[in-house]
């Protein structure tokens, strides 16, 4: 019986490898799948499981895959990413056998810290901001960059939430995370960019019925978070950087850079 089980696994494994060579995958992926399936079949052999039964029974397949997942986690102490990689390879193997993927949940992966731009990338981005043709784009990018507010908070801003006149220049976030109210000071660059946009906004929409949002589209409607993020992404693209509104919140500790930094390189 054991010999028959091993032969069944070996035959299907060899046919899978021949099929794998014809799939539109990189050599590295093929090698990884080959190694992972070999390991999985070794587990089946030591457990006395029949690959033919697993290919035919969704319930049995799911049960064995849960046991294998537990083995990877507890016995081998594999990382969540490794466990998921093995399960993906096994899904590919059963696809070849004409079976559905096993109903086994993937591991939650630990969140990685958002990438922060280097100082050189910050300078490139800032130069691109300064070169923006539209005052609204300059104001959006500068505000997000220098205050670190969330994009949802930016979309919720009203015109009266920004003070650019007098000595106390600030932006007010009235309903931040956890419904927190906070006031954030504006540096000279943010104040100037916002002043230009507010002046243009008031002139362009004078006498028209518009939303009370700080940032408006040409129809006088408040910009959505997606529209605000698109502004940032397009500025980044113009200087060869993959930048989003979320990335701007995670600049290095040099987020508020002096104006001289623009001209230092």
Here the contacts of 235-239 (C-beta below 8 Å, separation 24 or greater) are: 235/125, 235/128, 235/129, 235/132, 235/137, 235/141, 236/125, 236/128, 238/128, 238/131, 239/124, 239/125, 239/127, 239/128
Average pLDDT taken over every residue of the chain:
86
pLDDT at position 247 is 80
Domain spans, the chain? 2-96, 119-263
Burial 120-130 (b: 16+ CB within 10 A, else e): ebbbbbbebbe
Rounded to 10°, the helix 135-147/119-130 angle is 150
Confidence of residue 176 (pLDDT cuts 50, 70, 90): confident
Using the predicted structure, report yes or no on whether residue 15 has a pLDDT greater than 80.
Answer: yes
- What is the model's pLDDT at position 261? 39
Element (H, E) at 130: helix 119-130
Alpha-carbon gap, residue 265 to 255, rounded angstroms: 17
Give yes or no for a contact between 104 and 62, defined as CB atoms under 8 angstroms apart. Answer: yes
Mean pLDDT throughout 106-124? 74
- Alpha carbons 56 and 58: distance in angstroms, whole number: 7
Q: Where are the beta strands (DSSP E) in the chain?
A: 162-163, 170-173, 182-185
Check pLDDT > 60 for residue 251: no
Residue 66: per-residue pLDDT: 94
Per-residue pLDDT at 265: 37
pLDDT, one tens digit per residue, over 181-232 is 999 999 999 999 999 999 999 999 999 999 999 999 999 999 999 999 999 9
Residue 142 pLDDT > 90: yes
Please tell me which residue, 109 or 22, carries the higher pLDDT value. 22
Residue 248 has a pLDDT of: 79
For residue 56, is pLDDT > 90?
yes
Average pLDDT, integer, range 51-63: 92
Q: Which of 23-27, 114-118, 170-174, 183-187 has the lowest mean pLDDT?
A: 114-118
| Mean pLDDT of the region 112-123 | 71
DSSP string for residues in 17-74: HHHHHTSS--HHHHHHHHHHHHHHHHHHHHHT--HHHHHH-HHHHHHHHHHHHHIIII
Superfamily of domain 119-263: Intergrase catalytic core (1.10.443.10)
Binned at pLDDT 50, 70 and 90, residue 129 comes out as very high
Percent of the chain with pLDDT over 90: 61
Position 101 scores a pLDDT of 81
Count CA within 13 A, CB hemisphere, residue 80.
7
Res. 244: pLDDT tops 70 = yes
The pTM assigned to this predicted structure is 0.54
């Amino acid at each position: 019986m054991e010999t028959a089980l091993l032969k069944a696994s070996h035959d299907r494994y060899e046919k899978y490898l021949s099929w794998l060579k014809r799939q539109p995958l990189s050599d590295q992926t093929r090698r990884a799948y080959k190694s992972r399936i070999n390991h999985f079949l070794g587990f089946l052999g030591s457990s006395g499981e029949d690959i033919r039964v697993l290919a035919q029974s969704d319930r049995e397949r799911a049960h064995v895959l849960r046991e294998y997942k537990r083995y990877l986690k507890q016995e081998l102490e594999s990382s969540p990413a490794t466990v998921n990689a093995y399960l993906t390879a096994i899904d590919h193997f059963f696809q070849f056998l004409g079976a559905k993927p096993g109903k086994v949940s993937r591991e939650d992966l630990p969140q990685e810290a958002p990438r922060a731009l280097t100082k050189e990338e910050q300078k490139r981005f800032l130069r691109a901001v300064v070169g923006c043709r539209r005052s609204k784009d300059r104001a959006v990018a500068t505000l997000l960059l220098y205050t670190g507010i969330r994009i949802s908070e930016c979309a919720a801003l009203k015109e009266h939430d920004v003070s650019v006149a007098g000595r106390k220049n600030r932006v007010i976030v009235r309903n931040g995370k956890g419904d927190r109210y906070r006031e954030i000071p504006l540096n000279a660059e943010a104040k100037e960019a916002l002043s230009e946009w507010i002046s243009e906004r008031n002139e362009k929409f004078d006498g028209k019925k518009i939303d009370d949002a700080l940032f408006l589209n040409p129809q006088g409607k408040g910009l959505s978070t997606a529209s605000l993020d698109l502004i940032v992404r397009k500025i980044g693209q113009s200087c060869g950087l993959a930048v989003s509104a979320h990335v701007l919140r995670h600049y290095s500790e040099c987020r508020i850079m002096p104006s001289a930094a623009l001209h230092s390189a």
